Amino acid sequence: MIARRLVAVLFLPFLFCGCAQEAGSMAGTTGKDPIVVGFSQVGAESEWRVANTESMKAALSEENGYELFFDDARNMQENQIRAMRNFIQQDVDYIVFSPRVETGWDSILQEAKEAEIPVIVIDRGIVAADDSLYRAYIGSDFREEGEKAVKWLEDILEKQERTGEDIRIVHIQGTLGSSAQISRTGALEQAIQRNANWRMIEQECGDFTRAKTYEVMGAILKRTKDIDVVYCENDGEALGAIDAMEEAGLKCNPEDGVIVVSFDATKKGLEYCFEGRIALNVECNPLQGPYVDEIIKKLSRGEQVERKKFVDETLFDFYTITKGMIEKRGY
């Protein structure tokens, strides 16, 4: 196995095209074999994602006993599958991946299983034919995040005594088919059903990016400017939507403007929240590296691991956020 891996490490990197190869020195200075991990990241579409990548690289570092093969799939599932297949050919010890979408992973996971390479899913969840296709999942409870957002919205509209008026909602969705999108969308759609005065006037995909959302929001604003709430599924989308609305002369704030709801709570998102331009920012914690490290170390020692773990998350709103909270934010 070691000999096979040595060959793989020496030659296979040249077969990877367009992927950042970050192999450390074999065996390191400790005299122990490093744990070889292939990590397929979905892309670099958001600040959240960049923080997630950094957390993973910091935790799975050479000093920490790892050799990391990192691949950025540029937001394409087929690239992720290709990278995972390369990791299998390289006979890595573990595969970690952040799936772009929920479905379509069964065959590649089966290949990993046949090669006896344990797979750890991070961030977004998957729907797999069979539970034995991956060892552990670590990520966020996206449905819970969505529930926090709609509950907050119900409360604020009640406080503002707006339960009797139509609430016109624009919904910007994340990458369609991703578990983050499915669950955050699910929470809103269900809340619309139970609140007779909430109207979904537009629903478009912003693909979790500022640029795409700026475009789709611009198009929406040509159709209507009568908007009460914009529900964006991450900070990038919120920033893009706000850019477009402010340019069109709309004010964004929860007191006398459009109420913008967002997810992630990155530093930039929190700054917008402090100003009220984002009224509510539900935290989504990207710092998953240390948990992945813990899982891998446990598996390497032959210990049991939790099959599913959600990271801790909170929320921030315009009324309670402080400067101190923003300063503490590292990403």
Residues that bind ligand GYE (CB under 6 A): 45-46, 48-49, 123-124, 140, 180, 208, 234, 236, 263-264, 284
- State how far Cα 182 lies from the chain centre: 12
Provide, rounded to whole angstroms, the least separation between the CB of residue 312 and ligand GYE.
Answer: 14
Which is closer to ligand GYE, CB of 201 or CB of 287? 287
- Give dist(CA 152, CA 108) in Å, integer: 40
Which is closer to ligand GYE, CB of 93 or CB of 264? 264
Which is closer to ligand GYE, CB of 274 or CB of 331? 331
Provide, rounded to whole angstroms, the least separation between the CB of residue 301 and ligand GYE.
Answer: 29
The DSSP symbol for 252 reads B
Which is closer to ligand GYE, CB of 80 or CB of 90? 80
Provide, rounded to whole angstroms, the least separation between the CB of residue 180 and ligand GYE.
Answer: 4
Provide, rounded to whole angstroms, the least separation between the CB of residue 100 and ligand GYE.
Answer: 9
Contacts of 17 (CB under 8 A, 6+ apart): none
Which is closer to ligand GYE, CB of 276 or CB of 286? 286
> What's the maximum distance between 2 C-alpha atoms anywhere in the chain?
72
Which is closer to ligand GYE, CB of 5 or CB of 49? 49
Provide, rounded to whole angstroms, the least separation between the CB of residue 213 and ligand GYE.
Answer: 11
Residue 292 tokens read as: 């992945």
The answer to whether 72 touches 52, Cβ cutoff 8 Å, is no
Provide, rounded to whole angstroms, the least separation between the CB of residue 187 and ligand GYE.
Answer: 14
For 119, phi and psi rounded to 5 degrees? Answer: -115, 135
- Give dist(CA 292, CA 138) in Å, integer: 7
**Torsion on CA atoms 273, 277, 279, 281, rounded to nearest 10:** -50
The answer to whether 257 touches 250, Cβ cutoff 8 Å, is yes
Which of 212, 262, 261, 213 shows the shortest CA–CA distance to 234?
262
